[in-house]
Amino acid sequence: MATTIDAIALESPLKPPPCKLLLPFVIVCTTLASVWLLPPRAHAEPSHGIAMRGDPALPADFAHFSYANPDAPKGGTLVYGVKGSFDDLNPFDLKSIRTGARGLWDPVFGNLVFESLMKRNRDEPFTLYGLLAEKAEMAPDRSWIEFHMNPAARFSDGKPLTVDDVIFTFNLLKDQGRPPYSSRMKQVSKLEKTGERSVKLTFNDKASRETPMLFGLMPVLPQHATDIETFGNSTLTPPIGSGPYTVQSLRPGERITYRRNPEYWGKDLPANAGFNNFETIRVDYYRSSNAQFEGFKKGLFDIYPESSPSKWNTGYDFPAISEGRALKETYKKRTPSGMLGLVFNTRRKKFANRQVRQALAMLFDFEWANENLFFGAYQRTSSYWQDSYLSSLGQPASDLEKNMLAAFPGVVADDVMDGTYKAPVADGSGRDRKILRQALTLLRKQGFDFQDGTLMDKAGEPLSFEMLIAGDAGISGQDIERIALAYKRSAAKLGIKIDVRLVDDTQYQRRKGSFDYDMTIVSYSSSLSPGAEQTFRWGSQSRDLEGTFNFAGAAEPAIDMLIERMLNATTEEEFQAAVRAYDRVLISGHYVIPLYHLPEIRIARWKKLARPQYTPLYGPRFQTWWSSEAEK
C-alpha cells in the first residue's frame, strides 16, 4: 500500500512559515517574507551563510539541516539505476553534458567527488551555508563577494585545498569549461587573492544580484592534479576531488562505484551532519526504460522515482510490493509545478505567429487524455509556477506588474492580465466540436482555410509539421508517444497533418541541441527562486546559441526585461511582481502546449533503505537516507 508523507505536519528543528492549504496537495506559503526574506544587512560582514533575499534562516551555531538525521547509522550500500551510458569522468567539460558519469557532481545523487564553495539548504528557497568556504562576505549591493576558505579543507589525496585552487578552477572553467560555469566568469571584472584563506570576486555590469550566490555553487578542482592541456578531453581516469566519496571502480558505460572516504575532511560540518551515510554508492546504467524498471523489480537497484501514472497504478503488482519488501511512497509537493509541454520552435515560419500557436494549443484534449490514459491522476498545467505564490493564475496584475509591462502593450493577453485565464477545458470526448470551431476560427483569421480537406495558408502551403520525440528517453517515453498520437488525431480533424517522429536518444539529443525540429517535448523545472537559468531558457541572447535551453526560440524584449528585473529585485514585492509578470508573458506567448503535472512526488524504494521523517521544501534528498541494515 502506498504511504503518504505530509511534509508540513511533521516536526522539524526549522519550522517553516505559516502556510495555507488552498488546493488538494498544494501548499502555498504566504508569509515567506517574515522568515526567509528579511531586509538585507546594512553592512557587509563575514557570515556562515548567504541568502538570495534576506538573511539565512539557520543561526551560525546550527547543528544540522532540518531534513537530515545526525544520528543516522553509517554503512551499507546504495544502488541507483539510470538509463543511458557514460564515457567521461570530468563533469565540467563540454563533452560531459550528455555522457558524463552520474554521481561525481550530481543534483540528485549528490556531489560525491567534487564539492562547491558553499552548500544549499533544500528547506529554504535559495540559501547557502559554509562548506569549502566556511564564511562569505558580500557587499550590500552585491557588487562583490569574498569567500573565506575552511582551513581544514583537503582533497582526497590529502593535499590542502587552498585559495590558489579556487582561482585556478575559476580561470580554467572560464577558458575550457562548459556552460554555465564558463559564462559566469564573464560577469567578473576582478578575481583576487585577498589573504592566505580568502578570495574576492568583483563583478561587472553584466552581473545580477544572483551572481554572488551562483559563485557559491561553483566547484573547486585540484590544481596539482589537473592537466590543463587535456582538460577538454573525455577521460576515464578517476578524478581527485574534495568530496565525501572517491571512485572505487568502474565499467565504462555500465557501472560506476563510489566508496566513502574515511578521511573526508568535512564529515563533522553542520551542513554535512546526517549526509553521506552509505559506505558504498553504485550507479548502474540501463539501455532502456523497460530494462531499468525490470532491474528495480528484481532488486538490482534501490530507488525508482515514478512519473508515469499508468505504471504507478498497474505496474507495481510484483511480489516484493505485495509482501512489503518494497514500498510505494508519495510526497506532497511544496514547490511550483514546472511546465511539461509540447514546444513550438518559433524559428520555423509556420510557428512565428502567436495566434497560430494559440489555436494549435487548443487542440490538446487534456480531459480525454487524463481520463483514458492516466487514471485521472494529473492536473492540467497552465502556469510555469503553478501551485505557488509566484504563479499569475487567478491573480489580477498588480500596479507594479502593470508598470513593468507598460512599455510592451499587447504582450500579455487581457484574460491573463486580469487573472481570469485558464487552459481550454474540453468535454473529454476527444472531439469537442466547440473547441475545434474556436481553433478553426482563430486559424481562419490568420489566413488559413480548407482546400480538399487540408488546412492551407494563403500561399497554398498545408499546415503540417513534425513532432520529434525519443522512443525511450524519460519524459519522451511511452506516455508522451500516446499523447502525441492523441494530439495528432485531434489536429487531423482540422486538416492538419502531424508526423510523430520517434528517434533514438542520440539522434534526439543531437537534433534537440541544434534546434532541428518543428515541435518537441520539454520539461521546464521551476523553483521558488528563479534566476539566471531563465536567460538560457527564454532570453533572446540564447535564441541562436546551440546547446542552450531556448527550445522555443523566444526573442521577446519583454522577457529579457523581466528576467533582468527578477535578477535585480531588492525586495520581495518587486521579485514576486517580476516573476508573475514574466509568467504572464510566457503564458500569453503560447510557446508551448501545456500538458500536465502530478500534485505529488512518487517514489518506489526497497525497504532496506531508511529515511528521515521530515521532508524538505524541495522534496526527498537521497543523500540523507541510510541503510536499515546498518541499524542492526
Span 140-147, mean pLDDT? 96
> Which one is predicted more confidently, 98 or 383?
383
State residue 476's pLDDT score.
43
Q: Pairing between strand 464-470 and 519-524?
A: parallel
The type of residue at 386 is: Q
| Residues in Cβ contact with 623 at an 8 Å cutoff, skipping those fewer than 6 apart | 109, 110, 275, 276
What does the mean pLDDT of the chain come to?
A: 90
Average pLDDT, stretch 261-288?
A: 97
Asked whether residue 30 carries a pLDDT value surpassing 60, the answer given is: no
Distances (CA, A) of 567 to 53, 88, 207, 436: 11, 34, 9, 40
Residue 307 confidence (pLDDT): 85
Q: For the domain 3-284+601-631, what is the CATH superfamily, name and number?
A: Periplasmic binding protein-like II (3.40.190.10)
Backbone phi, then psi, for 379, in 5-degree steps?
-110, 145
CA angle 284, 285, 291 (to 5 degrees): 105
Please state, in angstroms and as integers, the Cα–Cα distance from residue 373 to each residue in 343, 351, 365, 433, 597, following that order: 21, 28, 12, 21, 14
On the question of a common fold for 3-284+601-631 and 339-597, the answer reads: no
* Residue % of the chain over a pLDDT of 90: 81
For position 396, what pLDDT does the model report?
Answer: 98
pLDDT digits (tens, 9 = 90+) for 357-373: 999 999 999 999 999 98
Range in 70-79, 473-482, 572-581, 593-602 with the lowest mean pLDDT: 473-482
What is residue 632's predicted lDDT score, i.e. its pLDDT? 64
Report, as an integer, the average pLDDT of 549-571.
Answer: 95
**203-228 average pLDDT score:** 96
What type of residue is 33? A
Considering the chain, what percentage of its residues have pLDDT values greater than 70? 92
Domains in the chain: boundaries: 3-284+601-631, 339-597
**Inter-axis angle of helices 572-589 and 354-361, to 10 degrees?**
80
The one-letter amino acid at 154: R
Is residue 9 over pLDDT 50? Answer: no
> How large is the average pLDDT for residues 132-142?
96
DSSP-assigned beta bridge partners for residue 346: none
Report phi then psi at 455, rounded to 5. Answer: -80, 120
pLDDT on residue 505: 79
Residue 27 has pLDDT above 70, yes or no: no
Each residue's pLDDT tens digit, 182-203: 989 999 999 999 999 999 999 9
- Cβ contact 138:50 at 8 Å: yes
Q: What is the pTM of this model?
A: 0.80
Given pLDDT bands bounded at 50, 70 and 90, which one contains residue 22?
very low
Residue 597 in this model has a pLDDT that exceeds 60: yes
Helix axes 557-567, 572-589, angle to 10 degrees: 160
Residue 433 has pLDDT above 50, yes or no: yes
Predicted pLDDT of residue 471 = 65
Ranges of H-type helices in 431-504: 433-445, 478-492
The answer to whether 509 and 98 have CB atoms below 8 angstroms apart is: yes
Q: Determine the Cα–Cα distance for residues 542 and 539; give it in Å rounded to an integer.
A: 6
Is residue 249 classed as helix, strand or coil in its secondary structure? strand
pLDDT over threshold 80, residue 14: no
* pLDDT of amino acid 472: 54
Distance CA 567, CA 619 (A): 25
pLDDT for 207 equals: 93
For range 373-382, the mean pLDDT? 91
pLDDT in tens, 83-129: 999 999 999 988 777 789 999 999 999 999 999 999 999 999 999 99
Amino acid at 19: C
Measured distance CA(515)–CA(468) in Å, rounded: 11
- The answer to whether 218 and 184 are in contact (CB under 8 A) is yes
- Tell me, letter by letter, the H, E, C secondary structure of 536-600: HHHCHHHCCCCCCCCCCCCCCHHHHHHHHHHHCCCCHHHHHHHHHHHHHHHHHHCCEEECEECCE
Assess whether pLDDT exceeds 70 at residue 478. no
Q: How far is CA 506 from CA 82, 88, 254, 340, 511, in A?
A: 16, 16, 17, 21, 9
pLDDT of residue 509: 84
- Reported as a single tens digit per residue, the pLDDT across 238-260 is 999 999 999 999 999 999 999 99
The predicted model gives 428-445 an average pLDDT of 94
Helix axes 478-492, 366-373, angle to 10 degrees: 140
What is 339-597's CATH topology?
Answer: Dipeptide-binding Protein; domain 3 (3.10.105)
Q: What is the pLDDT of residue 274?
A: 98
Q: Which three cell numbers stand for residue 265?
A: 575532511
Each residue of 572-600: b (16+ CB within 10 Å) or e?
bebbbbbbbbbbbbbbbbbbbbbbbbbbb
Instruction: Answer whether residue 473 shows pLDDT above 90.
Output: no
Q: What is the mean pLDDT of residues 327-352?
A: 96
